[in-house]
Structure 1
């Protein structure tokens, strides 16, 4: 493989923004890919995948390169050189790339690969919490799985098409994808590509959504005509899925504390042909109190550490701080106790996270059930999804039911 100067420079530019400016990797890659309109799919793929790979294994690569933050441009080129050598790519004779003996790089790699925190490239504190929470064996397997590149998964929007019709449409446009056993509306791309440019996407026939994430709305057991509340809707990936399962019948209230995210949801809903969604900004406790006892179904897709989705957000490993876990656990419990009050007796509620840590998941459900607010609820079922077993994102979901009020 021959390295092209402008592509390598683009990768180094991206790493500078991610490592030194602490910008989000996905936003940086989008920005950098706009540098040169002449780049084709292969060029763009090289920039995006190489950037993500170096971010994913940041700790390992900087240890081998013997550099420290803040990272100067020569040091970032040195890190890139480590990546290239480990992939068997011959380094070009450029003044920016300092000659590093291949034998030294490979020797350091062999040595560091025996230590999990370097091999899987994670902070010490995260490694310690993972082992304590999941055990050595499970944690090691999970880290390995979460360091693999994520597949691109589509969810057919059943308000506009079927999975089979969508697959045929995409195939006609040169995009090959396969259904996934056990996932109702999911299609997996045979190879990565920019699906957002297709007419099928512009016409709202699908959304990009990981297979594990697609299980959450189905877990909620919604029915057309119900009043459903998505309490932490964000930009609405799961909201749109719920709307499709409701067949646009009934009321779907999408709530969030961030108005800009709900604006994005409105835009997506229009493209999807989802007309029963009503966005509401949580700007005071009154918004929640007005809905006490009114919902047939509630989804709490709670804020979390995101440790189950590191495959697609590898920079989260370096942004997360140890104190964040305690803080987010308090928030999760507060949300559960407050938002659950909007459920009717005999209504159902799903608590979900994209984390694999039990203290954010089943332990939170146990705490809720033991609380004053949770005493009228019962756990129906839960689903713990591990990347090492499913091949998709790590997720947790619990289905709870509010017990009917006793009559005198």
Structure 2
């Protein structure tokens, strides 16, 4: 591979914003890719994948390069040199790479790869937490899986098309995809591609959604004609899936504290042809109280540490703090206590997170079921998805039924 200066400069600029200014990697990369209209798909892929790679392996590369945050531009070029050297890319004779100790880089990599916190490039506290919650063996396998690049998975919008028709449409655009056993509406791309430019996407034939995430709406056991609430809907990936499973019949009420996210859901729902979704911003507790004992199904896709989706958000490793995890557990329990009251007798509730920590998952359910509000529910089943076992994001979901 030959390195091009303008593409490398874009990566260094992106890393400056992510590491030193705390900006989110996905937003930074979106902006970088708009910088030069002459860049082709390979150029864009290089910028996105290289930036994500260096973000993912920040601790390992910084240790090898012997640099510490905050990183000035010289230090960022050193991180870049480590990335290139470990990939066998010949460094050009630019001033940024003068006296790069190639042999020493490989030696340090071999040495540090014996220590998990460096090998998997994670903070000490996160390594300790993973061992405490999952055990040494499971954590070692799981954090390795969470450092792999995620596949691009599509969810077929069955309101508008079928899996076979979408597969054929994508093939006409030189995008090859394959079905995944056990995931009825999922297609996995054989190679990464910008699917958002396709007519199929613009016509609402699919959404990009990880395979594990696609299991959540199905876990809720919805049927056409029901009244369903998605309590932490955000931009609505699961609301859209619920609408499709309900064949546009009945009502999906999408709630969120962020009105701007619900506006994005409205745009997506229109594109998807999902006409039974109603958005309601949570402006006070009245929004919730009006629905007490009136809903067939409630989905609580709870805010969480997001440790199950590190493959997609590698910068979360550096933004996440142990205090946040303690605080989010209180929030999760409060949401369970309050939002569960919307379920009518005989109705069902799903609590889900994209976390792999038992303390955010089954322990929250156990705590809820022993509480006053929780005594009205019966535990039906749960599913714990780990990335190293499934090959997809880490997720948890539990199904509860309200007693009649």
- Separation (CA, whole Å) in 1 of partners of 2:395 and 2:351: 11
Distance apart, 1:350 and its partner CA: 0.3
Secondary structure in 2 matching 1:279: strand
Partner of 1:401: 401
Distance apart, 1:128 and its partner CA: 0.5
Partner of 2:289: 289
TM-score by length of 2: 0.99
- Separation (CA, whole Å) in 1 of partners of 2:107 and 2:174: 43
Residues 202-221 of structure 1: matches in 2 within 5 Å?
A: 202-221=202-221
Partner of 1:162: 162
- Separation (CA, whole Å) in 1 of partners of 2:199 and 2:100: 47
Distance apart, 1:320 and its partner CA: 0.3
Matched-pair contact (CA < 8 Å) for 1:349–1:400: yes
Note the aligned Cα RMSD (angstroms): 0.6
- Separation (CA, whole Å) in 1 of partners of 2:92 and 2:69: 25
- Separation (CA, whole Å) in 2 of partners of 1:254 and 1:374: 23
Instruction: Kindly provide the CA deviation profile for residues 163-202 of structure 1, in whole angstroms up to 9, marking residues without a partner as x.
Output: 1111011111111000101001000001001000000000
- Separation (CA, whole Å) in 2 of partners of 1:91 and 1:173: 35
TM-score by length of 1: 0.98
- Separation (CA, whole Å) in 2 of partners of 1:365 and 1:322: 21
How many residues are aligned here?
A: 404
Give unmatched runs, 5+ long, in structure 2: none
Instruction: Kindly provide the CA deviation profile for residues 229-252 of structure 1, in whole angstroms up to 9, marking residues without a partner as x.
Output: 000000000110000001110011
Secondary structure in 1 matching 2:397: strand
- Separation (CA, whole Å) in 2 of partners of 1:35 and 1:61: 27
Partner of 1:30: 30
Residues 262-301 of structure 1: matches in 2 within 5 Å?
A: 262-301=262-301
Partner of 1:347: 347
Partner of 1:329: 329
Distance apart, 1:97 and its partner CA: 2.4
Distance apart, 1:98 and its partner CA: 3.4
Matched-pair contact (CA < 8 Å) for 1:78–1:98: no
- Separation (CA, whole Å) in 2 of partners of 1:297 and 1:144: 36
- Separation (CA, whole Å) in 1 of partners of 2:16 and 2:98: 18
Distance apart, 1:96 and its partner CA: 2.2
Give unmatched runs, 5+ long, in structure 1: none
Distance apart, 1:103 and its partner CA: 1.1
Instruction: Kindly provide the CA deviation profile for residues 288-310 of structure 1, in whole angstroms up to 9, marking residues without a partner as x.
Output: 00000010000000000000000
Runs of 4+ in 1 over 4 A off after TM superposition: none
